[in-house]
Amino acid sequence: MASDETKAPAAAPASSFAKLIVGPLALLAMGSIWGLGFALSKVAGEAGAHPVGLIIWETLGSGALLLMVCAMLGRYPRPNRVYLRNYLVNGLLGFTIPGPILFWAAPHLPVAVLTLMIPMAPLLTYVLILFSRTERFDPVRALGVIAGFVGVGCIVLPEGSLPEPGQVGWVLLALGAASFYALQNLYIALHSPPDSDVLTQTTGMLLLGGLTALPLAAGMDGFLWPTFPMTIPVQAAAVMLVINAGMMMLFVWVVRTVGPVFASMTANVITLAGVFWGWVIFQETASGWIWAAIAAMALGVALVTLRRPVPIERGDRTES
Each of the 320 residues of the chain gets a pLDDT tens digit; together they read 544 444 444 444 556 666 668 888 999 999 999 999 999 999 999 999 999 999 999 999 999 999 999 999 999 999 999 999 999 999 999 999 999 999 999 999 999 999 999 999 999 999 999 998 888 899 999 999 999 999 999 999 998 899 988 899 999 999 999 999 999 999 988 888 878 788 899 999 999 999 999 999 999 999 999 988 999 999 999 999 999 999 988 888 888 777 777 888 899 999 999 999 999 999 999 999 999 999 999 999 999 988 877 777 655 554 44
Listed residue (227, 245, 247) closest to 61, CA to CA: 245
What Rg do the C-alpha atoms of the chain give, in angstroms?
Answer: 19
Cα distance between residue 86 and residue 64, in whole Å? 18
Q: Quick check: is 7 in a domain?
A: no
* Number of CB atoms found within 10 A of residue 225's CB: 7
* pLDDT for position 10: 45
* Residue 41 belongs to some domain of the structure: yes
Asked whether residue 3 is domain-assigned, the answer is no
Distance (Å, rounded) from C-alpha 303 to C-alpha 313?
A: 23
User: Can you name the residues that pair with 135 across neighbouring β-strands?
Assistant: 311
pLDDT for res 95: 95
pLDDT for position 289: 96
Flag whether 107 is in a domain.
Answer: yes
> 314 lies in which domain range?
29-319
How many separate domains does the chain show?
A: 1
Residues contacting residue 249 through CB under 8 Å, at least 6 positions apart: 66, 69, 199
pLDDT of residue 4: 45
Q: Is residue 212 part of a domain?
A: yes
Q: Give the separation between CA 69 and CA 51, rounded to whole angstroms.
A: 27
- The answer to whether 260 and 17 are in contact (CB under 8 A) is no
Residue 14 lies in a domain: no
CA–CA gap between residue 131 and residue 53 (Å, rounded):
35
The pLDDT tens digits of the residues spanning 245-270 come to 999 888 888 887 777 778 888 999 99
CA dihedral of 38, 39, 43, 45, whole degrees rounded to 10: 30
Q: What is the model's pLDDT at position 317?
A: 53
Burial class (CB in 10 A: 0-12, 13-18, 19+), 237: buried
Indicate whether 197 belongs to any domain. Answer: yes
Q: Would you say 40 and 247 are in contact if contact means Cβ atoms under 8 Å apart?
A: no
pLDDT, tens digit, for every residue of 146-205?
999 999 999 999 988 999 888 999 999 999 999 999 999 999 888 888 787 888 999 999
Beta bridge partners of 10: none
Residue 9's SS3 state is: coil
Model confidence, pTM:
0.89
